[in-house]
Amino acid sequence: MKRKKEEEEEDEEIGTRALKEGGRERGKWGTDGGKCGSEDLLGEGGFGYVYKGRIDEHTFTASKPGSGMVVAVFKVIKVAIGAAKGLCFLHNAKSQVIYRDFKASNILLDALRSTEFNAKLSDFGLAKAGPTRDRTHVSTQVMGTQGYATPEYVAIGRLTAKSDVYSFGVVLLELLSGRRVVDKTIAGME
């Protein structure tokens, strides 16, 4: 039991440590004359200031912090590319990290200026250390959000970096189509 708790604590720290190591070259993220007020500020940490930017819950489109304005498709693509770079960093780190719960709500949008969005990954609670030595996968208890996990992971608990790539594809499909992967308002969707 003690070993499992230690393993869980280590897993929680993996993602945060990896991102902090990669984020050192970036300076403070501020509003730089943007229109983000203190009510839009989520917090300040090792990466600087993070402001609210969100994927709208009804239209599933990115919206400008505090404005409710829908963002152009090229900005949505920019957010997707930023999130992909975050996953790429985790997967190619010296000690590989598998995010395991990649979904739109775990992508924070930082408005460096009022018109720019910088994607930042959040919620590393389910992150796992990747396979080591000659292993191809990590066998683990299935966790994450319904609809985003690979069928292989759900069926037999085999986790690889490709699992995150699959989840990224689901999020990209959601962002570009404007539909959720699981929509309980549609009859027959569970």
Task: Indicate whether 189 belongs to any domain.
Answer: no
Q: Which residues are annotated as a binding site?
A: 75
Residue 88 has what pLDDT?
92
Instruction: Write out residues in the chain with pLDDT < 50, as ranges.
Output: 11-12, 15-37, 56-66
Q: Let me know if 101 is a catalytic residue.
A: yes
**pTM of the entire predicted model:** 0.63
Task: Indicate whether 162 belongs to any domain.
Answer: yes
Task: Indicate whether 52 belongs to any domain.
Answer: yes
Q: Is 167 exposed, middle or buried (0-12, 13-18, 19+ CB in 10 A)?
A: buried
Residue 126 has what pLDDT?
82
Q: What CATH number is given to the structural domain containing 23?
A: 1.10.510.10
Task: Indicate whether 183 belongs to any domain.
Answer: no
Task: Indicate whether 188 belongs to any domain.
Answer: no
The domain containing residue 146 runs over which residues? 2-177
| Count of structural domains, the chain | 1
Task: Indicate whether 160 belongs to any domain.
Answer: yes
Residue 85 has what pLDDT?
94
Which of 101, 110, 123, 134 is catalytic? The answer is 101
